[in-house]
A and B are shown apart, each in its own frame.
Chain A
Amino acid sequence: MARPERPAGESAKKRAAARARAAGLRAGRKAAYEAFFSPGALAAAGAAISVAFLLQDSLALKGLMFAAFAFAAWRSGKRSSVAATIAAAAGIVAANLLVRVGKVLLTVGPLQVTEHALLDGIDKALTFEGLVYASKAAIMPSLRLPGRLGAVIASAFVYYDRIVEYAGKIRPASLISDADDLMLRVWEGETAEPSPECRAVRPVAGYAVLAASVLASFAALTLK
């Protein structure tokens, strides 16, 4: 019996087009973000705000900061998965619920949900995931660390680019010899010399936004 003809991969094409559109939008956000903030100033502000976030006692304010970090990470064009965030947060809360502390709020089969354990779990999950988003928003790949360690890391990134270029030639059947070829070829190429740091001038508004964010995060510590 003849099978009805389906539009050849119509939905697959639509999905691919949607993915390409999303990637284009993300690249645009990333370019705008990197043109607005200086990598060093952004990292310094991120470190300061992370400290304020860690010191924040109020769960509601912590939740607000978490939302701001997630928004900033999205604007930075970094990849992040909402599903993975929810799964990790659920895992942390669930693990905390296993140890019963405080008033029993709910009993689900053998599991008793206790108030303190629940709030503690939510606090830890918010802290854990919030710092991940804050870090994603604050760290640009173009950030250059100072000193000898920074120089070695910059050289490592040059080698990393070469490894990624070559990596497609590694096959599971000949993993060891292919990996050996990779190491030899990458090492025998030009000595890894990082390109000089891009010192493009960023708008003053970028610095102002960072300063205001740091001040706001510490001012929030005084609110109850």
Chain B
Amino acid sequence: MTASTRRPTDGTAGAAGSARAGSARAGSARAGYSRAGRGSDADLTALLGAFCFFLSAIEYMVPKPLPFMRLGIANLPILLATGILPLPWFLVLALVKVVGMSLISGSLFSYVAIFSLAGTMTAALVMLAARKAFGARITAVGVSVLGAVASNAVQIALAKALVFGDAARLVAPVFLGMGLATGLLLGLFAERFAAASRWYAVATGKSDG
């Protein structure tokens, strides 16, 4: 069985488990993805992936002019993960989001999954690159806006190739504008959440909970 499904050897939960999670997280940054149980990268990836599914379900309820147009709120856990997960697990999280959401919505074999894969992977890589390149000089708002606009730009290119043809340029301004607005709001939320959240402090190893 894989790392994500093994239990911690002491079986502790609750606040004490949370404290261990903090140190496990700090350790996992050193140990890569070989750690198992609570606080392991696999466990944290699963939790953040579940959060993506939940936000995606909320987003699903918002009416959209076209099925692949998304507000991007399900990218919030990926934005938070730029400061938590190492690269391999960060990419696994992006894949978990795409595949899991496709399983929930049953769109795994459709163009929707291609749009989702391209948009999510682009946003994830751009956000991670921005975080790595600029470190503390860039805010979550900046990271989020860059990711959202890049994701929407890639989706417009796909829409041109697969669905709309040249008419894609007509929806491009609206779509990019949406990306800018939702990226901004998501970044503001992420910044406030990261500053106030006890869970985030534990997950980043800045607190023992």
Residues of A within 8 A of B (CB): 43, 46-47, 50, 73, 78, 84, 87-88, 91-92, 95-96, 98-99, 120, 124, 127-128, 131-132, 134-139, 141, 143, 145, 148-149, 151-160, 162-164, 167, 176-177, 179-180, 183-184, 186-194
On whether the beta carbons of B13 and A135 are closer than 8 Å, the reply is: no
Q: Which of chain B's residues has its CB closest to A161's CB?
A: B50
On whether the beta carbons of B54 and A167 are closer than 8 Å, the reply is: yes
Residues of B within 8 A of A (CB): 1-8, 13-15, 17-18, 21, 37-38, 42-43, 45-47, 49-51, 53-54, 57, 65-67, 92, 95-96, 99-100, 102-104, 106-113, 162-168, 170-171, 189, 192-193, 196-200, 202, 209
Q: Which of chain A's residues has its CB closest to B106's CB?
A: A136
* B46 neighbours in A (Cβ, 8 Å): 152-153, 155-156, 158-159, 192
Q: Which of chain B's residues has its CB closest to A125's CB?
A: B163
Q: How far is the CB of B147 from chain A (nearest CB, A)?
A: 20
On whether the beta carbons of A132 and B49 are closer than 8 Å, the reply is: no
Which of B110, B163, B166 contacts A135, CB < 8 Å?
Answer: B110
Measured in the bound complex, the distance between the Cα atoms of B4 and A92 in whole Å is 42
On whether the beta carbons of A176 and B196 are closer than 8 Å, the reply is: yes
On whether the beta carbons of A46 and B167 are closer than 8 Å, the reply is: no
Which of B4, B51, B209 contacts A152, CB < 8 Å?
Answer: B4
Question: In terms of DSSP, what is the predominant structure of the interface of chain A?
Answer: helix
On whether the beta carbons of B165 and A120 are closer than 8 Å, the reply is: yes
* A187 neighbours in B (Cβ, 8 Å): 18, 21, 38, 47, 199
* B200 neighbours in A (Cβ, 8 Å): 180, 183
Which of B45, B170, B192 contacts A95, CB < 8 Å?
Answer: B170
Measured in the bound complex, the distance between the Cα atoms of B56 and A167 in whole Å is 13
* A88 neighbours in B (Cβ, 8 Å): 66-67
Q: How far is the CB of A26 from chain B (nearest CB, A)?
A: 14
Given contact pairs A184-B198, A187-B21, A192-B46, enumerate 14 new A-B contacts (beta carbons under 8 Å): A88-B67, A92-B163, A135-B108, A135-B112, A138-B109, A148-B42, A159-B51, A179-B197, A180-B198, A188-B13, A188-B17, A190-B13, A192-B5, A192-B50
Q: Which of chain B's residues has its CB closest to A137's CB?
A: B106
* B2 neighbours in A (Cβ, 8 Å): 148, 151-152
Q: State whether A177 and B111 are in contact (beta carbons under 8 Å apart), knowing that A155-B5, A156-B50 are contacts in the complex.
A: no
Measured in the bound complex, the distance between the Cα atoms of B42 and A45 in whole Å is 31
Q: How far is the CB of A213 from chain B (nearest CB, A)?
A: 14
* B17 neighbours in A (Cβ, 8 Å): 188
9 closest residue pairs by CB, A with B: A159-B50, A156-B49, A155-B46, A131-B110, A136-B106, A183-B199, A151-B2, A160-B50, A135-B109
